[in-house]
Amino acid sequence: MPDHKRAAGTRLGRRNDPDRRDRIIDACIEVVSRAGVAGTSHRKVAAQAAVPLGAMTYYFDGMDDLLREAFTRFATTISDRFERRMAAAPDADAAREAVIAIILEDVFGDDRELVLSHELYTLAARDRSYRSITADWMARSRAALERHFDPETARMLDALIEGLTIHRALDSQPRDPREVEIAVTRILTRGGEAR
Amino acid sequence: MPDHKRAAGTRLGRRNDPDRRDRIIDACIEVVSRAGVAGTSHRKVAAQAAVPLGAMTYYFDGMDDLLREAFTRFATTISDRFERRMAAAPDADAAREAVIAIILEDVFGDDRELVLSHELYTLAARDRSYRSITADWMARSRAALERHFDPETARMLDALIEGLTIHRALDSQPRDPREVEIAVTRILTRGGEAR
DNA sequence: AATGTGTGTGCACGCTCGTACACATAGAGG
DNA sequence: CCTCTATGTGTACGAGCGTGCACACACATT
């Protein structure tokens, strides 16, 4: 019985480094970010993690299983950061500015995260079983926004963040940062929508 | 000299069906929508298009070349439809409703287009050379929106459409369609953003 | 009818891939 | 120190891949 499938607490005969499995997951994220899901293979991940090829099938039930764990970790990491930033905002106005900063920084920041997000979305769009990862991520983002805004606004704002981030990343020419500010402000302005 | 590389007008010795190349491109879109870019190969596309394997390298300089043409066609198709819908709106209010309809229909509509869009975004996120496809697509969307709204609003609205579409597609639970209406209305409402 | 030319094809090579399975080995229990 | 067991590894197999290239074949020209 493989170690990772045994109930926690029964530690028996464990020898090598116990976080080899973790290393494989991290290596997988790294390989995906460089080569894409299309270019990711057991062999490349094994090489990146410096583990033998046989360890791949030993620890995971195939690429899907591995990818699921890798993207779960990735989404959790991003989600944690978002939550922390939102929690750091003392009031709604600070939260508004934090959101603007996140959009602008995520765009000009690491290409790596942009790529990984899209790889995940693509998997989720095709395969229902990845959708729980994106659903959880979205749920956490919304919960973080609901510290400062009502639930409905939080959902709209979350969608706006997504769209602005994507479009600014895929745009060929740079845009005025003030546009982001204006868009966020408009979404946060409750107007004559009660009809 | 391959037919497709020859200057238009010089038709010499063309024999078989002249739109074989077109069929391959369509077949590529089809295969990508079913198997993803990751699972697309010359052989699968050839089988789908019912052309011999050798035709792949004959008509295209490799998968990248083929994918670029396939996604260009896909983006153009979607873009055309969007443009037509916007052109059909007589005034700004009708345009507003058209946008709302597009968001709601695209979500509950074909999974195929959702998947293909994400596959394209993923390629564009990783590879600069695909970015001109997405950039052109965005430019056309914005131009269509600018029939009814000012350029700045058009860009914000375009981003909002993106975000709402994605989030509603990747969400696990259904949302009230009225939220879309409210979000669009807020973006279209010019408020106290002049500061 | 013979010839030439450019279009398009069939095939096989070398490669990478995931997976299965025989085997090594570390540590526990005797 | 020996034995047993569960953990982990090395390897080889078959499938699927892109590509290069010799070649078939339709048609224009003579």
Over the stretch A102-150, which tens digit does the pLDDT of each residue have?
A: 999 987 778 899 999 999 999 999 999 999 999 999 999 999 999 999 9
**What pLDDT is recorded for position B191?**
67
Q: Which CATH class is domain B78-195?
A: mainly alpha
CA torsion, points A124, A130, A135, A136, in degrees to nearest 10?
-140
Nucleotides of D under 7 A from a protein CB: 5-12, 16-21, 26-28
Percent of chain A with pLDDT over 70: 88
Res. B14: pLDDT tops 50: no
**What is the structure's pLDDT at A6?**
39
The pLDDT score that the predictor gives to residue B48 is 97
Q: What is the 3-state secondary structure (H, E, C) of chain B?
A: CCHHHCCCCCCCCCCCCCCHHHHHHHHHHHHHHHHCHHHCCHHHHHHHHCCCCHHHHHHCCCHHHHHHHHHHHHHHHHHHHHHHHHHHCCCHHHHHHHHHHHHHHHHHCCHHHHHHHHHHHHHHHHCHHHHHHHHHHHHHHHHHHCCCCCHHHHHHHHHHHHHHHHHHHHCCCCCCHHHHHHHHHHHHCCCCCCC
Token duo for residue B100: 């709302």
State the Cα–Cα distance between residues A29 and A73, nearest whole angstrom.
9
CA–C1' gap, A9 and C26, in angstroms: 20
Structure tokens at A111: 């290409």
The pLDDT of residue A7: 36
* Predicted pLDDT at A10: 33
Average pLDDT across chain B, whole number: 89
For A142-195, write each residue's pLDDT tens digit: 999 999 999 999 999 999 999 999 999 988 888 999 999 999 999 999 865 544
User: What is the predicted pLDDT for the residue at A190?
Assistant: 82
d(Cα B56, Cα A116) in Å, to the nearest integer? Answer: 30
Nearest C-alpha neighbor of A30 from the set A61, A78, A84, A70: A70
Evaluate if residue A11 carries a pLDDT over 60.
Answer: no
Residue B35 above 60 pLDDT? yes
Contacts of B155 in chain A (CB under 8 A): 167, 175, 179
Q: Which CATH superfamily is domain A17-60 in?
A: Homeodomain-like (1.10.10.60)
Q: Which CATH superfamily does the domain covering A76-195 fall into?
A: Tetracycline Repressor, domain 2 (1.10.357.10)
- Whether the per-residue pLDDT at B78 is higher than 60: the answer is yes
Give, in degrees to the nearest 5, the angle at Cα B26 between B99 and A39.
90
Q: Which CATH architecture has domain B16-60?
A: Orthogonal Bundle (1.10)
Cross-chain residue pair B162–A163, CB shorter than 8 Å = yes
Contact predicate A175/B155, CB 8 Å:
yes
Q: pLDDT at residue B42 above 50?
A: yes
pLDDT given for residue A192 in this prediction: 52
pLDDT, tens digit (0-9, with 9 covering 90-100), for A75-105 = 999 999 999 999 999 999 999 999 999 999 9
Q: Taking the domains of chain B in order of start, what are their residue ranges?
A: 16-60, 78-195
Q: Cα B155–A74–B164 angle (5° rounding)?
A: 30
Please indicate whether residue B110 or residue B5 has the higher confidence score (pLDDT): B110
pLDDT at B19 (0 to 100)? 85
The amino acid at residue A173 is Q
Q: How close, in Å, is residue B1 to chain A by CA atoms?
A: 33
Residue B6 Cβ under 7 A from any strand C atom = yes
- Cβ of A42 near strand C (distance < 7 A): yes
pLDDT at A173: 86
Which pLDDT score is estimated for B173? 86
Q: Is residue A53 pLDDT above 90, yes or no? A: yes
Judged by CB atoms closer than 8 Å, whether chains meet at A160 and B158 is answered as no
pLDDT in tens, B125-160: 999 999 999 999 999 999 999 999 999 999 999 999
Tokens 């690429």 sit on residue? A63
CB contact under 8 A, A125 and B114: yes
Looking at residue A16, its pLDDT comes to 58
**Whole-angstrom Cα distance, residue A38 to residue A24?**
18
Length of chain B: 195
